[in-house]
Amino acid sequence: MLAYLDLRESTGSQPNENFSRELLELFTLGEGNYSEADVQAGALALSGWTLVRGEGSARFVARRHDDSPQRYLGVAGVHDLDTVIDAVLAHAALPGFIAAAVAGELLGSDDETVVDRLSTVFVASGFDVRSLVRATLAEGLAGHSAPLVLGPVPWFATACRVTGARPAPKQSVQLLRAAGQVPMLPPNVAGWPGGTAWFGASSLVARANLAALIAAAAPAGEVLAAAQGDDSAVLADVLGLPIDDFADASLAALDAAPAGIDRLAVALITPEFMIA
């Protein structure tokens, strides 16, 4: 984030507001819970941080910092990284914002009642992310979730795990890039769009090619054996699908594919496997 949002170039005399703004808007509080004055005050308080050339590590340079006390998010005396973090963590909007973000990613839903429960857990745990994720997954197991389109990377990881495949890394990365998602390389600071955006033509074509790559790399075992057989319910089971069988349209596509590797590749790009 120092490089991505230009904080490494921010000084007390010429503060850059990019990091300060996105810290509040995208990562902690959300729109409507801070003012432009907060963004400006945060930029001054966070000035002076830069990168060590060749190492990529952060370094604080005191002479590049404005240490004058600021009023930030209603808190007086904020002047450095620690006091910025303290003020953000003390803001009433933070628990709900983080809980909603995690629920949206893991449950495909930001139901207000569920988010309130998760927010309570998050606060009670002292803002422990592991506790929040555990509580979120428990909500999912309790049925408080919605269909969630898997992005290329989580879909790829799941497909490799259930098949036991270890496809060539170079080809995998090339196809993941074509599908629109490479780890640590989001299109912008907001990250990947998600949801139905993954149903674009180019993304689906790349995912089909990835499915073929995974299926070809799948070792002999129960998954490949199920793809060789004619019982689609068995194939659904070994792929870990939470249903008894594929839908009619998927069954037609599976029946049309040659048994074995080709059928496995088709199964990996059915809606049943791509939507959690």
Question: Could you tell me the CA-to-CA distances from 5 to 22, 78, 163, 189, 252 in Å, in that order?
Answer: 8, 21, 39, 8, 48
pLDDT at 128: 97
Q: State mean pLDDT over 184-195.
A: 86
pLDDT band per the 50, 70, 90 thresholds, residue 25 = very high
Q: Find all residues with CB under 8 Å of 87, minimum gap 6, and list them.
A: 72, 73, 74, 75, 78
Lowest model confidence (mean pLDDT) among 132-136, 140-144, 214-218: 140-144
16 pLDDT band, cuts 50/70/90, is very high
For residue 13, the model assigns a pLDDT of: 95
pTM: 0.80
Domain ranges of the chain: 7-90, 94-141, 152-274
Least confident of 1-10, 222-231, 244-253: 1-10
